Amino acid sequence: MKEYDVNKVRNIAFAGHNGSGKTSLAEAVLYKSGASERLGKTADGTTVCDYDSEEIKRKISIGTSLASFKYNDCKINILDTPGLFDFAAEMIEGIRASDTVMITVSAKSGVKIGARKAYDEAVKQGKSKMFVVTKIDDKDANFFNVLTELKTVFGPTVCPVVVPVISNGSIVEFVNLIEMKAYKYDGKGNAVETEMPTAEISEKFEYRIEGLVAAVSEAVAETSDELMEKFFEGEPFTQKELIDGIHNGMNKGIITPVVCTSAADLSGIDMLLKEIELLLPAPDEVYPAEAYTPSKDVVEVKCDADEPLSAYVFKTIADPFVGKMSMIKVMSGKLSSNCDVVNSSTGNTEKIGKLYFVCGKKQTEVNCAYAGDIVVASKISANTGDTLSDVSRILEFAGMDFPKPCYSMAVKAKAQGDEAKISASIQRLLEEDPTLSYVQDENTKEQILSGLGEQHLEVAASKLSGKFGVSVKLSVPKIAYKETIRQKVKVEGKHKKQSGGHGQYGHVWIEFEPCVSDSLVFEEKVFGGAVPKNYFPAVQKGLEDSVKKGVLAGCPVVGLKAILVDGSYHPVDSSEMAFKTAASIAYKEGLKKADPVMLEPIGELKVTAPDENTGDIMGELNKRRGRVLGMEPVSHGVTMIQAEVPMREMHDFAMYLRQTTRGLGSFTFDFMRYEQLPSNLLTEVISALNSEE
């Protein structure tokens, strides 16, 4: 591809609810622009953007893919993001690199939670927005109901630009309200201009053309004082004034255009390409990005090719054959292949090797990329969220806010000998996905993989097998139960054995009592040398080894104080091993008499959810033996619930919350302390723990 000026670049993220047609829309745009030779289908696994083997198998988007192509004099970078909430990080990364977010809404099913989440993320990141009503050709489609819903949900900034004309339940033509021209399509996406419709043609009289034009004009009038004055004087806007007004209004966030398309028969795709060129802001027109200097001063970074280089790594792909692939948004200056840059996030020098423009999995090697453009670098050590700078001006851009992992499973290799491979392979996945985490549980010694949902972890496990040749099985993580005592006891431990030659003799009296400590507290109060001092460490070691397993279910024992008070010894047969064994005998006998109990871990839960769901959630927490501590409003219509809940009850809470709030709820859950397990659960827990051994 040739070099493009910054004002000829368009960076667009396709976002929206799962199944709303993002990938199909990208496919139609690529085909209509000539970037792709065939019109692929998601169901067939033949689309440009869903090229990963997991995406083809599951027929859904899993990762954000980049499709760069030229249209007229423009370089267009499409970032096709997943709609499933399990892969929310991909949407956040795609929106970060874009200047405009095209939010797809199905004309059949209307505004879903995914559209709201995409809109909110676009607002949060300060991006311009456009709604694309997809699947307009479906027999159950209702564009005007969807338009009404968009205005109700997202407010007065919603502005129709391309609308269908419906007669007898079918679309007869499309009207471009900027050009004030009507078009018919021949089934292959070829448009033929036709006469503008009269009010009698359309079934939707409340949406007659005059009213729609007035809505567009009113929205455009809001963008400048001059246009507002002209609007009040009743003068119609010229086509250029409408284009410039919508363009500026999108950039300011006060106009959100609505267009309609069909990816199946390519209706409206040609007009969408025109709007991409005319209405969407270029990278140098959006608000300048802010970055930090080494002294933490905030500076604005002008998107200009003549400025020193600054670039942001917004996504990493772990490729088992090529190595790490880094998607980079050039914020200023020029990024060249075979050059040295500073990784501002680590302070290290980074050697840039080959650079590529990509369209799905097709790569085109380039020498450089200029400010505003998106490029892919291979085999660099930078990670997602890192900033690359010229040594003359070191800057660091703020990182992205990702949701925290909330669903965990234990990971175990299916084949012996693969244990060592698991950790290395998962580290590659962690580079690719910042919403995955992988730790070893200190108590259960299990390897725990955490993510945003069940499907998220299933895909991760499938990638381990498909990409890195490591087959794993996922299981519900063990709960780290512990044991303690509630009474003070004094017990004897005697180990006496005669087997010819030297025998074994160790004899102790030990007091066991509850205390507040995570580890064994050992003291000695022996008088008169009943137990020689040189055997004290052996007694302590015997007890320390013993507390690793309790007497109820073999769980570690906490809150235990042991005081060596008496005993006896044999001058010949006593040994450290004998006293260690005697201490172990005293421990087992003592804990049985000291009213042993099981302890379970309790976590602090903070749930953020819409107000209408709070009653259901509190009821569910009560079922899960939770204690609700309080509620407080977070924002309009959203409340945070604080509670303490046993960890054994929380494994599937992420699934419950997603279903109840339709994806709008979120939560954090952190370990707080241990509490006594209710007696009615004791038999069940002990039985389960014994069956695991």
Q: What letter would DSSP give residue 471?
A: -
Domain annotation covers residue 366: yes
Q: Give the percent of the chain with pLDDT over 70.
A: 97
- Read off the pLDDT band of 244 (50, 70, 90): very high
- In this structure, are strands 256-260 and 158-160 parallel, antiparallel, or unpaired? parallel
Cβ–Cβ contacts within 10 Å for residue 612, how many?
A: 11
622 compared with 236, residue with greater pLDDT: 622
Burial 93-112 (b: 16+ CB within 10 A, else e): bbbbbbbbbbbbbbbbebbb
Q: How many domains does the chain have?
A: 5
At residue 500, the pLDDT reads: 63
C-alpha distances out from residue 384 to 97, 324, 343, 430, Å:
12, 11, 12, 10
pLDDT at 501 over 80: no
Domain boundary among 442, 475, 508: 475
Dump pLDDT digits (tens) for 337-389. Answer: 999 999 999 999 999 999 999 999 999 999 999 999 999 999 899 999 999 99
pLDDT at 140 over 60: yes
Q: Supply the angle between the helices 269-278 and 22-33 in degrees, to the nearest 10.
A: 80
- Read off the pLDDT band of 435 (50, 70, 90): very high
At 564, list the tokens: 């060596």
Residues near 523 by Cβ (< 8 Å), separated by ≥ 6? 561, 562, 563, 564
CATH code of the domain in which 323 resides:
2.40.30.10
At residue 101, the pLDDT reads: 98
Instruction: Say yes or no: 194 and 76 in one domain.
Output: yes
Domain boundary among 422, 449, 475: 475
pLDDT at 239 over 70: yes
Dump pLDDT digits (tens) for 247-276. Answer: 999 999 999 999 999 999 999 999 999 999
**Looking at residues 5-24, what average pLDDT do you find?**
94
Instruction: Say yes or no: 211 and 334 in one domain.
Output: no
């570690």: which residue's tokens? 556
Domain annotation covers residue 402: no
Instruction: Say yes or no: 99 and 222 in one domain.
Output: yes
> Which structural domain, as residue segments, surrounds residue 542?
483-594
Instruction: Say yes or no: 71 and 209 in one domain.
Output: yes
CATH code of the domain in which 435 resides:
3.30.70.870
At 561, list the tokens: 């104080």
At residue 202, the pLDDT reads: 60
- Give the residues across from 319 on adjacent strands: 323
> Could you tell me the sign of the dihedral formed by the alpha carbons of 190, 192, 193, 198, in that order?
negative
> Could you tell me the sign of the dihedral formed by the alpha carbons of 523, 529, 534, 539, in that order?
negative
Domain annotation covers residue 1: no
Burial 371-396 (b: 16+ CB within 10 A, else e): bbbbbbbbebebbbbbbbbbeebbbb
**Residues 263, 563: Cα–Cα separation, whole Å:** 78
Residues near 647 by Cβ (< 8 Å), separated by ≥ 6? 479, 600, 601, 602, 603, 669, 671
pTM attached to this predicted model: 0.89
Domain annotation covers residue 314: yes
**Residues 453, 295: Cα–Cα separation, whole Å:** 39
**Residues 260, 131: Cα–Cα separation, whole Å:** 8
**Residues 638, 631: Cα–Cα separation, whole Å:** 10
Element (H, E) at 154: helix 143-154
Dump pLDDT digits (tens) for 50-66. Answer: 998 889 999 999 999 99
Instruction: Say yes or no: 21 and 140 in one domain.
Output: yes
pLDDT at 206 over 60: no
Domain annotation covers residue 128: yes
At residue 189, the pLDDT reads: 85
Instruction: Say yes or no: 113 and 132 in one domain.
Output: yes
Domain annotation covers residue 284: no
CATH code of the domain in which 235 resides:
3.40.50.300
Instruction: Say yes or no: 493 and 608 in one domain.
Output: no
């670049």: which residue's tokens? 9
Mean pLDDT across the chain: 91
Domain boundary among 368, 397, 426: 397
Quick check: 330 and 374 in contact, CB under 8 A?
A: yes
Instruction: Say yes or no: 76 and 182 in one domain.
Output: yes
**Looking at residues 63-92, what average pLDDT do you find?**
95
**Looking at residues 605-614, what average pLDDT do you find?**
95
């003549």: which residue's tokens? 306
Written as one string, the DSSP assignment of 59-105 is TS--S-EEEEEEETTEEEEEEE---SGGGHHHHHHHHHH-SEEEEEE
Instruction: Say yes or no: 145 and 97 in one domain.
Output: yes
At residue 1, the pLDDT reads: 44
> Could you tell me the sign of the dihedral formed by the alpha carbons of 417, 423, 429, 432, in that order?
negative
Dump pLDDT digits (tens) for 623-664. Answer: 999 999 999 998 888 999 999 999 999 999 999 999 999 989
Nearest CA-CA partner of 514 in 557, 465, 559: 559
pLDDT at 32 over 80: yes
Instruction: Say yes or no: 105 and 238 in one domain.
Output: yes
Instruction: Say yes or no: 272 and 323 in one domain.
Output: no
3-state secondary structure of 317: strand
Domain annotation covers residue 554: yes
Lowest mean pLDDT among 209-218, 541-550, 575-584: 209-218
pLDDT at 613 over 70: yes
Domain annotation covers residue 362: yes
Written as one string, the DSSP assignment of 396-463 is EE-----PPP-EEEEEEESSTT-HHHHHHHHHHHHHH-TT-EEEE-TTT--EEEEESSHHHHHHHHHH
Residues near 385 by Cβ (< 8 Å), separated by ≥ 6? 313, 314, 345, 399, 400, 434
Instruction: Say yes or no: 201 and 252 in one domain.
Output: yes
